[in-house]
Amino acid sequence: MKTVASFCGTLCCALVLFFGVIAAVAAEASPLGAPNPALLRSAYGADETFRYDVSWSGGIKIGELRLRISRTAGDQDSFEIHAQVTDYGAFRFFYPVDDTFVTQVQGEERLPVKYEVDQKEGRSYKAHRLTLYDQETGFVRYRKNDEPEKQYAVAGRVHNEFSSFFFTRVLPFEPGASVIVPTFADDKRHEVVVRAREWTYFDETLLGPVNVVEVLPRMTFKGLYDKSGDTVIWFTDDACRVPVRIRSKILIGSLTAELVSYHGLSCGRRWDLDKKVLKVNGD
């Protein structure tokens, strides 16, 4: 059963978090997204780990999603984004999934330079994918297993599914405004329109009661996995911009990832939080 893998892919491709529930918004009418310098320092400047419980419609836990972002030693603007998705319980017995995604990003825009995917699904399927990005010359090189390398020319800089997710985290959201986060997927560059759809309040999260901003990506591509509907991400509406919940529609029902563990330094505060044992170390 590929539900967890499909969710991670939807997430990946958009983990990118964008808004865009207004179909009338055209990519040509929106500017390229630029990071907020203050948010780069507070929400994209230190090591962090996130763990999410993934549940199917009705609240049945079917897997886990783990994300880790770490700074490259000696480089203020170089990071590695590590993600792993696994299924859970009976789902793992019928269709085991262990997929790992590693993205290296550089520069103020946190653009990808290298992306590796290791997929282990079912009883026998294995695949290794390597993508290299030359952001200056506009070329993307891709290889799957021992197949011949493919090269693609792109008109401008591009993110991948994971770098766009974390880049969206530091965009300056404004009511009624939309921006573009260019993303390479399905062999070409896509101009993904991102819009903050709603500002609201969650009574219960791992971080406690929080104000959140709801982001939805307007994606026209499948990415690594098929998807059948929108993905919505909720970030805390503060200098931390912690993604506390992610929801995606699939062929049958929907999948929700709820933050259940968070460790690291964000918005000037060191966090050590777990669903079962909640504690926050001092500033």
Task: Give domain limits for the chain.
Answer: 3-270
Q: Is the pLDDT of residue 237 over 70?
A: yes
Q: Is the pLDDT of residue 45 over 70?
A: yes
* DSSP 8-state secondary structure symbol assigned to residue 178: E
Alpha carbon distances (Å) from 230 to 69, 107, 136, 209: 25, 29, 32, 25
- Could you give the CA distance from residue 19 to residue 35 in angstroms, rounded to a whole number? 16
Q: How many CB atoms lie within 10 A of CB 199?
A: 12
> Cα torsion for 244, 214, 190, 78, to the nearest 10°?
-40
Quick one: pLDDT at residue 276? Answer: 67
Per-residue b or e along 51-75, where b marks 16 or more CB atoms closer than 10 Å to that residue's CB: bbbbbbeeeeebbbbebbbeeeeee
pLDDT band at 226 (very low <50, low <70, confident <90, very high): very low
Q: Tell me the percentage of the chain whose pLDDT exceeds 90.
A: 52
Q: Is the pLDDT of residue 140 over 60?
A: yes
Question: Cβ-count burial of 11 within 10 angstroms (0-12 exposed, 13-18 middle, 19+ buried)?
Answer: buried
Look up residue 246 and give its two tokens.
Answer: 């992610």
Quick one: pLDDT at residue 162? Answer: 92
Q: Tell me the percentage of the chain whose pLDDT exceeds 70.
A: 80
- Could you give the CA distance from residue 152 to residue 64 in angstroms, rounded to a whole number? 33
Which of 29-33, 38-42, 250-254 reaches the highest mean pLDDT?
Answer: 38-42
- If you average pLDDT over every residue of the chain, what do you get? 82
**160 CB-near residues (< 8 Å, 6+ apart):** 103, 112, 115, 131, 133, 183, 184, 185
- Could you give the CA distance from residue 15 to residue 216 in angstroms, rounded to a whole number? 10
Q: Is the pLDDT of residue 13 over 50?
A: no
**116 CB-near residues (< 8 Å, 6+ apart):** 101, 102, 103, 128, 129, 130, 131
Query: Mean pLDDT throughout 114-140?
Result: 93
Name 199's bridge partners: 213
* DSSP 8-state secondary structure symbol assigned to residue 29: G
Closest CA to 256 of 94, 59, 38, 92: 59
Q: What is the CA radius of gyration of the chain?
A: 18
pLDDT in tens, 142-188: 999 999 999 999 999 999 989 999 999 999 998 878 889 999 988 89
- Check residue 213 and give left, alpha or beta (phi > 0: left; psi -120 to 50: alpha): beta
Report the first-to-last Cα separation within the chain, whole angstroms. Answer: 44
Quick one: pLDDT at residue 279? Answer: 53
Quick one: pLDDT at residue 22? Answer: 23
